[in-house]
Amino acid sequence: MQLAPSEIWFVCGSQHLYGPGPLKQVAANARAVAAALDDSPHIPVKIVFKALLTTPDEITQLCLDANADPKCAGLVLWMHTFSPSKMWIRGLTLLKKPFCHLHTQFNRDLPWGTIDMDFMNLNQAAHGDREAGFLHTRLRLGRKVVVGHWSDAEVQQRLGAWVRVARAWHDWQGARFARFGDNMRQVAVTEGDKVAAEIRFGFATNGYGIGDLVAKIKTISEKSVDALCAEYADRYTVARELRKGGARHGALRDGARAELGIRAFLVDGGFNGFTTTFEDLHGLTQLPGLACQRLMADGYGFGAEGDWKTAALLRAMKVIGDGLPGGTSFMEDYTYHLSPKGHQVLGAHMLEICPSIAATKPSLEIHPLGIGGKEDPVRLVFDAPAGPALNASLIDLGSRFRLIVNEVTAVKTPQLPKLPVARAVWECRPDFKTACAAWIYAGGAHHTGYSYSVTTEHLEDFAEIAGIELAVIDGDTKLRDFKTGLRQSDLYYALAQGLRV
Ligand code: MN
């Protein structure tokens, strides 16, 4: 994936009460912790020791520097010793980057036989971080608190999860999403307030004429189309009729041309994702299916039927999961298996499922499509693998956004010889009836980001940074409590957010 360079600043708080000797030791210890975290295989972004901060002016300046540095995706704060928190008010009030509060201690085991007051005074995070936590809470600052020794793999994993999320949030700031055509007519859940989204999330969504895209597609050379068709032949099982010399090879070339044209449009405009709609295909020969599938696999966010919120969410999920096992795709709850032996969801779309979730070598095929009024589109057909996964949906409730997550267990896909699209089959947690009712009460969309690599912890961290509600449907969900939680959140966000959206 093409990601802008980013780093996380490691910042240690203290004060001058301790004298220069101990402060030197504190700085050396903080450097060692930052270096160990930077080396951790669980943390995919560079961790840079930035400063030992001991005065309000130093703290304020560091926060301003963090805001201004385009590489800084977030801060890890740790109070090795006691750092009186009023010193942090001015800086943290100005800070615009997300932060994670690492509640750790340099020393791991207490040396019971030799412990003296010097030792006690050097290892004070137990109360220093409580003083910090009070101020973070007093300022109502969203943050993640990670607790435990810094060498503990679980601590590094939790910090690593947040780092991934901070990088995705960083990627959203100033990101651009292109809409080819508007929303599918009359559809509600894919609509939303793009101004509110840009204020809240930092990305811009704008529309582009389908004619401009068609003009770009027309500039693609036959040589480039040849080369891409050869790549298809390398990577996929291409249907005989689509191969060179086959009766419908022209349709494959149209698909390749569309992919190259959309890709060029996105690269030229610096876009991180896009939407299409089958209701606006003027000048295109077929609904772009293969193109959307392959662009998603390269990390672009995508939403069908003008669904820009899902396109942006999918991009964020792709960045979060980058380098982790298991892929992430645009998805739609398509149809149900309601057997008394177990209820399941068959997820698919008309065409646009990302091959990053393919369990098997995708097959490149052509079939009729009843909607859109265009020629038959080419598409990749495959099964998604069994295993733990989740669906996530970002909705606009009018005055605010809500992120809904359902943990699911994907199962082996049955033989589906007549189904000409990519698909996944899953079982919902805690059970089908509870999960679907909760999803519907929460207002979750039929479109989702579906992932084997992104976890609920990631999305919890993401919602925290964004300052939006997270509604999780998992193995512990009880419907009555879930409904109560939604009502309480309505009230909380109305009060906490006030008139700002
Ligand atoms: Mn759809």
Q: Is the pTM of this model over 0.95?
A: yes
Asked if the model's pLDDT at residue 501 lies above 70, the reply is: no
Q: How confident is the model at residue 370 (pLDDT cuts 50, 70, 90)?
A: confident
Mean pLDDT of 457-481: 98
How far, in Å, from the CA of 333 to the mean position of ligand 1? 9
Q: For residue 455, how far is its CA from the centre of ligand 1 (angstroms)? A: 23
Q: How far is the CA of 315 from the centre of ligand 1 (A)?
A: 17
3-class DSSP assignment, residue 340: coil
Please, which pLDDT band fits residue 372 given cuts at 50, 70 and 90? confident
- How far is the centre of ligand 1, averaged over its atoms, from the C-alpha of 208 (Å)? 20
How many Å lie between the centroid of ligand 1 and the Cα of residue 311? 12
- pLDDT the model gives residue 413: 96
Cα angle 84-90-92, degrees, rounded to a multiple of 5: 80
Distance CA 181, CA 340 (A): 42
What is the band of 497 on the pLDDT scale with cuts at 50, 70, 90?
Answer: confident
Cα-to-centroid distance, 349 and ligand 1 (Å) = 6
The pLDDT score that the predictor gives to residue 498 is 82
CA of 453 to the centre of ligand 1 (A): 22
Segment 53-111, tens digit of pLDDT: 999 999 999 999 999 999 999 999 999 999 999 999 999 999 999 999 999 999 999 99
Question: What is the distance in A from the centroid of ligand 1 to the CA of 274?
Answer: 14
Interval between CA 294 and ligand 1 midpoint (Å): 18
If you measure from the C-alpha of residue 484 to the centroid of ligand 1, how many angstroms do you get, rounded to a whole number?
30
C-alpha of 255 from chain center: 28
CA of 132 to the centre of ligand 1 (A): 46
Quote the mean pLDDT of the chain: 97
C-alpha closest to that of 9 among 54, 53, 41: 53
Residue 472 amino acid letter:
V
Compute the distance from residue 447 Cα to the ligand 1 centre, in Å: 6
Distance 481 CA to ligand 1 centre (A): 30
How many CB atoms lie under 10 A from the CB of residue 9?
A: 24
For residue 109, report the phi and psi dihedrals to the nearest 5 degrees.
-95, 140
Measure 427 CA to ligand 1 centroid, in angstroms.
20
C-alpha of residue 190 to centroid of ligand 1, in Å: 9
Q: How far is the CA of 305 from the centre of ligand 1 (A)?
A: 6
Q: How far is the centre of ligand 1, averaged over its atoms, from the C-alpha of 445 (Å)?
A: 10
Percent of the chain predicted with pLDDT > 90: 96
Query: In terms of Cα–Cα distance, which of 308, 305, 301 is closest to 329?
Result: 301
pLDDT at residue 500, rounded to an integer? 73
Radius of gyration of the chain (CA): 25
The beta-strand segments (E) located in 259-414 are 273-275, 301-303, 328-339, 342-348, 363-366, 378-381, 387-396, 401-411
CA of 183 to the centre of ligand 1 (A): 11
The rounded Å distance from CA 409 to ligand 1 centre is 22
| Ligand 1 midpoint to CA 332 (Å) | 6
Tell how far the Cα of 448 is from the centroid of ligand 1, in angstroms.
9
Task: Calculate mean pLDDT across residues 463-481.
Answer: 98
In the reported structure, the alpha carbon of residue 182 is separated from the centroid of ligand 1 by a whole-number distance in angstroms of 14
Beta 387-396 vs 301-303: how paired, if at all? Answer: unpaired
Least confident segment among 14-23, 30-39, 162-171, 270-279: 14-23
For residue 117, pLDDT beyond 70: yes
Distance from Cα 353 to the centre of ligand 1, integer Å: 11
